[in-house]
Amino acid sequence: MMGLPLTINDADGSQPPANPGGCLVDSGDPDASGGVAGIPAIGGTPPSALLDPEKQPDNADDGVEDCRLLDEWVPPPEYQIQPISDPEARFMHSSHHHERKAIYHALRSLGCYRQLHRYVNCGAAARVEMRACIGDVMEFRVVACCCHNRWCPRCARGRSTIYANNIRRWISDKHRRVRFMTLTLRHNDTPVRDQVSRLLSSLLAIRRRSWWKAHVYGGVAFVEIKIGGDNRYHVHAHLLVEGVYCAVNELSAEWHAVTGDSPIVDIRDVRDPDVVAGYVAKYASKPIDRKVIFQERRLCECITALHGRRLATTFGSWVDLKLNQTDADDDPASWRDAGSVAEFLRGPFLDMMIVFQPVLAKRIIDTWTKFPSPSG
């Protein structure tokens, strides 16, 4: 099964439904942690030529920071993917290059070299696709190979967009009334791995209680880790639930009963599906807080603690909701390949993109003309 491509519609990073034809890497690994046998090697800049971020300017305001990472472990040819070029790295990762570098160093220190090759080159082989819409309107997008790594900021953003769209449709189709719910563990000094295990077991336990079954019909839960004001881990779950009215004091008593020491909860009513989608996109894209990302020791602890864990799960009457299902209305065959970005800039369709999607056109022009690819 082909993996999801990395697709960009506009400067805000919003992404259209995935087109399997835009991905050059098969994601056969259950946790998408590395390459898959059978992928042919693709020519390009040798990995040894990629720049070490430690030796490059790191000023986000000067517009010339290097967004590429050092691929210090080169896998066998059957596992290799095309190295990312400098303009591709700037286009795909300039908005989050600080987080990307911090995650890179954590993965490297943990010895995740098989993941690193794909992580480093996420966003390579960027191409432009186009299709005709209503009337004479044309739609454009940029597709590229993606690493599918849980910790990749760009892949996480695309994944959260898919989750949000699926949940929005799920709520709108049946006019479901939903509530936001937060269940929090009391801060303690136990390892974060144990705290995550305790949170997941507590979520399972409360769903088995008669009070929960009488008030909650189904929903979806997301795990998140932050650093609290006391500098200890703040492990909690954000839930979107469907059901009847839940008194916060009753919910607090039930949560305290299953955890033994954690009465802090929150629940809020929400009626706007777009608000729900924004909520889902926010928490589906970041299992850990940004503050954790820039503390390497804690980031490594969290990566280890969350390895193999399901951080987004449906339950109850929502078990049929497929969070990662791509839009069935988007026909991959409707998209036409317009060539690599460098080819597109020399082709006849650039003027059309400037008319219909000026923000995307400006980003492409600024990136590929100021920082042209050596092979472009």
3-state secondary structure the chain: CECCCEEECCCCCCCCCCCHHHCCCECCCCCCCCCCCCCCCCCCCCHHHCCCHHHCCCCCCCCCCCCCCCCCCCCCHHHCCCCCCHHHHHHHHHHHHHHHHHHHHHHHHCCCHHHHHHHHCCCCCCEEEEEECCCCCEEEEEEECCCCCCCCHHHHHHHHHHHHHHHHHHHHHHCCCEEEEEEECCCCCCCHHHHHHHHHHHHHHHHCCHHHHHHEEEEEEEEEEEECCCCCEEEEEEEEEEECCCCHHHHHHHHHHHHCCCCCEEEEEECCHHHHHHHHHHHHCCCECHHHHCCHHHHHHHHHHHCCCCCEEEEECCCCCCCCCCCCCCCHHHCEEEEEHHHHHHCCCHHHHHHHCHHHHHHHHHHHHHCCCCCC
Does residue 135 register a pLDDT over 70?
Answer: yes
Amino acid at residue number 252: S
Q: Please report, rounded to a whole number, the percentage of residues in the chain having pLDDT higher than 90.
A: 51
Q: Which CATH class is domain 166-316?
A: alpha beta
Q: What does the pLDDT average to over 254-258?
A: 96
Sorting pLDDT into bands at 50, 70 and 90, what band is 296? Answer: very high
pLDDT of residue 328: 56
Does residue 34 register a pLDDT over 60?
Answer: no
Does residue 254 register a pLDDT over 80?
Answer: yes
Residue 192 CB: number of other CB atoms within 10 A? 19
Which of the two residues, 20 and 139, has the higher pLDDT score? 139
Does residue 132 register a pLDDT over 50?
Answer: yes
pLDDT of residue 203: 96
Residue-averaged pLDDT of the chain: 79
pLDDT of residue 161: 87
60 burial type by CB count under 10 A (0-12 exposed, 13-18 middle, 19+ buried) = exposed
Residue 6 CB: number of other CB atoms within 10 A? 27
Sorting pLDDT into bands at 50, 70 and 90, what band is 67? Answer: confident
pLDDT of residue 1: 32
Does residue 6 register a pLDDT over 60?
Answer: no
pLDDT tens for each residue of 324-335: 887 755 677 889
Sorting pLDDT into bands at 50, 70 and 90, what band is 26? Answer: very low
pLDDT of residue 184: 95
Q: Please report, rounded to a whole number, the percentage of residues in the chain having pLDDT higher than 70.
A: 79
| Residues 167 and 280 sit within 8 Å (Cβ to Cβ) | yes
Sorting pLDDT into bands at 50, 70 and 90, what band is 371? Answer: low
Cα separation, 5 vs 21, in Å, equals: 8
pLDDT of residue 65: 54
pLDDT of residue 119: 92
Sorting pLDDT into bands at 50, 70 and 90, what band is 81? Answer: confident
User: Tokens 């400037």 — which residue?
Assistant: 354
- Ranges of CATH 3.30.70.1380 domains, the chain: 166-316
44: Cα separation from own chain's centroid: 26
Does residue 239 register a pLDDT over 70?
Answer: yes
Cα separation, 222 vs 238, in Å, equals: 5
pLDDT of residue 186: 94
